[in-house]
Each structure stands twice: as structure tokens, then as C-alpha cells.
Amino acid sequence: MNRFLKSAYRKEPITSFMAIAGAVDVAIGGLDRSWSLLFFGCSLVGVAIAIRWWQSQNTQEELDEDSPKYFLNSQSSRPALPTLDRGKRK
């Protein structure tokens, strides 16, 4: 669990900070029965998750556009180069 949190925080520090701050607000607001702080914390966590999801969707689209597409023709099972004969030399 510790490794997961460290890697997530290193990859996206802004959204991770927003999620952690929101979770702390939720905990404090729930314990103190401060409904406005609880609602703000839930909203902050939701916004952080939405931003992270939106960023992951954009990176997947960019990767799909940038990756080259290779198509094999029906003759691809044949060897590309002819075999060499060592026996007959002049």
C-alpha cells in the first residue's frame, strides 16, 4: 500500500495532493460534525478523481494517435531474403 501511494503521488502530485487534502477535510468534518467541511472535502476528492480520469483519457488518445500502425500482407509468411547457397562458387 505504501509503494502504491508513493508511486501515485510521484506521477500526479497535484491531483494526489487534492485527494489527500479532501480526505483530511472529510475526516475532520465527519468527526466534528461540520457538514460544510465534510461536503467540501467530498467535493475536493471528487474533483481530484475527475481530473485524474480526464488526464488519463487524454494520454490514451495521444498514445493511440502517435503509435504507428503496421499491417502485414498475405505474403508475410514467406522469408524476405532468399536463402544463400554455399556450395557453388566460381
Mean pLDDT of 1-13: 74
Query: How sure is the predictor about 62, in pLDDT bands with cuts at 50, 70 and 90?
Result: low
Burial 38-71 (b: 16+ CB within 10 A, else e): bebbbebbeebeeebeeeeeeeeeeeeeeeeeee
What's the first-to-final CA gap in the chain, in angstroms? Answer: 71
Q: Which of 53, 46, 8, 7 is nearest to 26 (CA)?
A: 46
Q: Is the pLDDT of residue 13 over 80?
A: yes
Mean pLDDT of 50-62: 81
Q: Which amino acid is at 72?
A: L
Q: Is the pLDDT of residue 55 over 80?
A: yes
For residue range 20-38, what is the model confidence (pLDDT) as tens digits? 999 999 999 999 989 999 9
Query: How sure is the predictor about 56, in pLDDT bands with cuts at 50, 70 and 90?
Result: confident
The CA distance from 78 to 68, in Å, is 23
